[in-house]
Amino acid sequence: MGDPPLSIIIPVLNEAGEIGATLAALRPMRARGCEVIVADGGSTDGSPEIARGLADAVVACGRGRARQQNAGAAVARGEVLLFLHADTRLPEDADARVTGGLRRSGRGWGRFDVRLAGRHPMLRVIERMMGLRSRLTGIATGDQAIFVRRAWFQRIGGFPDMPLMEDVALSAALKRLGPPLALRDTVRTSSRRWEERGVWRTMALMWRLRLEFWAGVDPAKLAERYR
């Protein structure tokens, strides 16, 4: 058998409540030849044990999404890499959407639109703003399930080793190679961050952090503010 067309890489840290369902939802894609890799950053809640048997590989590595996603990419065999958060669900035909979309467009990377799981009316506005912002700037975030040809990922050196905004930095590097494929298909992601901290407060915080990042503020300081 040849290399899989798509490798799905999931960074995990104490996600026992989510990872089983996330991996179960990927079974049809695994049956179609996709590879699923879990990169665990030192979970203490049994996440790696849940993942074994539901993924093709579980990689133990240092904590931090950038490091974990790079560790998963290092063992991935797929021509295309897709980075998926543990609390996010892909469309059923995401594998065909990604590989077919890249092939037809000739582009090297892309992302999905987002559907937030909660019912707060402002979440619908935030979803649309996320999609619009991404289309205008050519920048994607991790919630949008970024995907990239492995050759392009290796060419830019993977995710920069930073505690926050690694997804934005990766997008900026990829954008210099070419524009993203902006799929209108939606991934469904948890809205727990928005609901626990307050929708308006979280929206203001995220915009402030992004502006400060582009202004050159140390990502370590931004990570402290985010936490």
Least confident interval from 103-112, 117-126, 149-158:
117-126
The predicted model gives 96-121 an average pLDDT of: 95
Nearest to 41 by CA among 65, 18, 57, 23: 65
Pick the residue with more confidence: 51 or 125?
Answer: 51
Using the predicted structure, report yes or no on whether residue 83 has a pLDDT greater than 60: yes
Q: What are phi and psi of 174, to 5 degrees?
A: -70, -35
Least confident interval from 75-89, 152-166, 207-221:
207-221
Token pair recorded at residue 138: 């050519």
Pick the residue with more confidence: 152 or 123?
Answer: 152
Instruction: Please check whether the domain covering 6-191 is classified as CATH 3.90.550.10.
Output: yes
Nearest to 8 by CA among 31, 41, 38: 38
Per the DSSP assignment, residues forming a β-bridge with 189 are 88, 116
The predicted model gives 89-117 an average pLDDT of: 97
Specify the pLDDT at position 43.
97
Q: What are phi and psi of 110, to 5 degrees?
A: 180, -170
Contact between 86 and 19 (Cβ < 8 Å): yes
**Sign of the CA dihedral with 54 first, then 95, 159, and 183 last:** negative
pLDDT tens across 169-224, in order?
999 999 999 999 999 999 999 887 777 777 778 777 777 877 787 788 777 776 77
Specify the pLDDT at position 183.
97
Ordered by start, the domain boundaries in the chain are: 6-191
Angle at 130 between CA 18 and CA 117, to 5 degrees: 30
d(CA 201, CA 207): 10
pTM as predicted: 0.91
Pick the residue with more confidence: 117 or 43?
Answer: 43
